[in-house]
Amino acid sequence: MDLPSDIFQSRLCRLNRTLLSLLGQWPFQKERHRRIIFITVSFLGITQAITQVLALKTLRGDINATLECIPPLIIDGVCIVKLVNLWCNMEKIKMLLIRIQKDWQSWDIESEYEILYKFAETGRSITVGYAGGMYMFGCLFPVMAMIPKIVGKNVTSEYSTRPVGFPYHVEYFIDLNKYYYPVLIHNYIVTAIRLTTLVASDTCVAMLVQHCCALFSVVRYRLEHIRKSIEQDKKLALLEEDDKIYKNFTYCIRKHEDALQFARILETAYTKALFFEVGLIIGAMSMSALQATNEVLTPHVAIRHGGYIFAQLLHLYIACWLGHKMIDHSSSIYTSVYRGEWYESSPKSRRLLNVIMLRSISPCTLTVGKIMVLSLPSFSAVVRASASYFTVFRSVQ
């Protein structure tokens, strides 16, 4: 680690650091370790994806088997996009993490620390809840496939590419019955890598968005509670009354600019990846729904595909909800100006508020390739689009 990392060693961010480290994507890992882990994870994932593509080729002509192959391949695509994006934007993410560390080391008043802590605690709750939900729903698909093998039922598979217990169709061009357990272990290891990639990348975004919202909230507090802020800030104690307010407003401008810069870097680091992710998620949900309705709906099938679809919905919802939070917190700066005791300041100090108000007119956003803004309305729009594609596929079939 090449910088002090108290906050990242604490319970607030420890899980985020651990998840990214497991993929070799934690920016402060040693370069050699990071490369070894990344190459190993990539090799395992790519070899699994290749076997799934070969299975798709082997099963061509069988519509049911083809439908089973496509959703896992789409999720592979999402994971590849996330890993490549993390690797390509390593420096930007590192810059944001260093900024988080500095903010935790340089807060000026007790209220700022409380705001940072509150948002970091919320970020930790999001990380724990999202990780738990994704691992739970994501594991339903492979676990349900293994149940017949565990209970010892004499069940046979009609496909040589997916023996009983295998979560996906794979083609290794070997006797899968003879090498059953080595291939099965490979499948389940890659499934764990898939889930960890999704969770690590998305919770990293959650951590960064939460800190960005915390920066905006610090500015809002300083604007809405001018007197309290001045009383807590020892640096302003020896200044004249109007100078205290003026310095408080200049501090707000600097903090607001820092928050805007943080949001801009965050947006540029993830906008391209989100473009591919959202498109792939639409395809995955549509194909999963088509696959579920194409089979006889037994409890076993319902649980497998239901868990798969819910995991995709959770993945999409968290991204849209985080984008909505950025919009809300950045746009609230404008109204916060009016809630403070601005009328007690001099005209010179009031003019500084115009700068903050002008800069807060346009809210900060997370976008899908600069085409669509992530928000709760866009979540419903994507779900409707998935339902539309499902209807089209169903009618064509």
Please check whether residue 183 lies inside any domain of the structure: no
Q: Write phi, then psi, for 298 (nearest 5 degrees).
A: -95, 165
- Tell me, yes or no, whether 380 lies in a domain: yes
Burial 60-84 (b: 16+ CB within 10 A, else e): eeeeebbbbbbbbbbbbbbbbbbbe
- Evaluate whether residue 241 is within a structural domain: yes
The closest of 221, 207, 240, 6 to 110, measured between CA atoms, is: 221
- pLDDT tens for the chain, 397 residues: list them: 344 347 888 899 999 999 999 999 999 999 999 999 999 999 999 998 999 999 988 888 787 788 888 888 888 999 999 999 999 999 999 999 999 999 998 888 888 999 999 999 999 999 999 999 889 888 877 777 777 777 766 566 677 888 888 888 888 988 888 888 898 899 899 999 999 999 999 999 999 999 999 999 999 999 998 888 888 888 877 777 778 888 888 999 999 999 999 999 999 999 999 999 998 988 888 887 877 776 656 666 677 777 778 888 889 999 999 999 999 999 999 888 888 887 877 888 888 888 888 888 889 999 998 899 999 999 999 999 888 888 887 777 6
Kindly report the pTM of this predicted structure: 0.91
Rounded Cα–Cα distance for residues 91 and 50 (Å): 30
- CA 43 to each of CA 35, 80, 168, 243, 320: distance values in angstroms, whole numbers, following the listed order: 12, 12, 18, 61, 31
Contact of 71 with 287, CB cutoff 8 Å: yes
Where is 320: in which H helix or E strand? helix 299-339
Locate tokens 């200049």: which residue? 250
The count of structural domains within the chain is 1
Give a yes or no: residue 180 inside a domain.
Answer: no
Residue ranges of E strands in the chain = 367-368, 372-373
The three-class DSSP label of residue 270 is helix
Structural domain contains residue 182: no
Look up the domain containing 37 and give its range. Answer: 6-152+188-396
Q: Are 97 and 3 in contact (CB under 8 A)?
A: no
> For tokens 């640096």, what's the residue?
235
In this structure, is residue 249 part of a structural domain?
yes
In a domain, 91, yes or no: yes
Which H or E run contains 18?
helix 14-22
Decide if 124 is inside a domain. yes
